[in-house]
Amino acid sequence: MDDNQASPSNRRQEGSHKEPRRDSGDSGGGGAHAKTPDEWKAILEPDRYEVCINHGTEPPFSGRYDRYSPDGGYMCACCRAELFSSDAKFDSGSGWPSFWRPASEGNIEYVQDTAYGMTRTEVNCSRCGAHLGHVFDDGPAPTNLRYCINSLSLIHESDCRDG
């Protein structure tokens, strides 16, 4: 009568024998693009080095891409990250290639620059740290931004195909 079903509940302990997964970092992350100034010096032409690594500025109207209109993307001269596109290029009359927006916001790093007693926003390549130029808020619609970029910091895709 007594239907006492005593079923001992053997709780199965799910043994958590998870092996710690180690990410063997073979993914080739951004670290590979971070070079020391000496390493850059060995790679870059002197005038490129001066602008990109020493945060210099090329003379206005001197750069290859100031008056340059072929379609296509502009990459970082140092690491080839895509930075700007001809879609957003305009002639600002400043003597430097000007864009009203970057091609990829994620590849741009913004830094407050207080040199020369001015507060400006410096624009760098976020991938390798190369100096690109500055961004100002007197650009055309829709962003009203003017990315004032050194030609020496850029390489147009049509100039990239030589090997």
Nearer to Zn ion, 130 or 148 (CB): 130
Q: Which pair of structure tokens corresponds to residue 99?
A: 């864009």
Nearer to Zn ion, 127 or 146 (CB): 127
- Our answer to whether residue 78 is catalytic in this structure is no
Residue 149 within binding range of Zn ion, rule CB under 5 A? no
Residue 76 within binding range of Zn ion, rule CB under 5 A? yes
Nearer to Zn ion, 125 or 155 (CB): 125
In whole angstroms, give the CA distance from residue 163 to residue 155.
13
Q: Give, as ranges, the residues between 109 and 138 that touch Zn ion (CB under 5 A).
A: 125, 127-128, 130
Residue 81 within binding range of Zn ion, rule CB under 5 A? yes
Nearest to 53 by CA among 33, 30, 67, 73: 33
Residue 152 within binding range of Zn ion, rule CB under 5 A? no
Nearest to 154 by CA among 31, 93, 68, 91: 68
Q: Which pair of structure tokens corresponds to residue 35?
A: 């070079």
Helical segments of the chain, H only: 37-43, 46-52
Residues annotated as catalytic are: 148
Chain residues that interact with Zn ion, rule: CB under 5 A: 76, 78-79, 81, 125, 127-128, 130
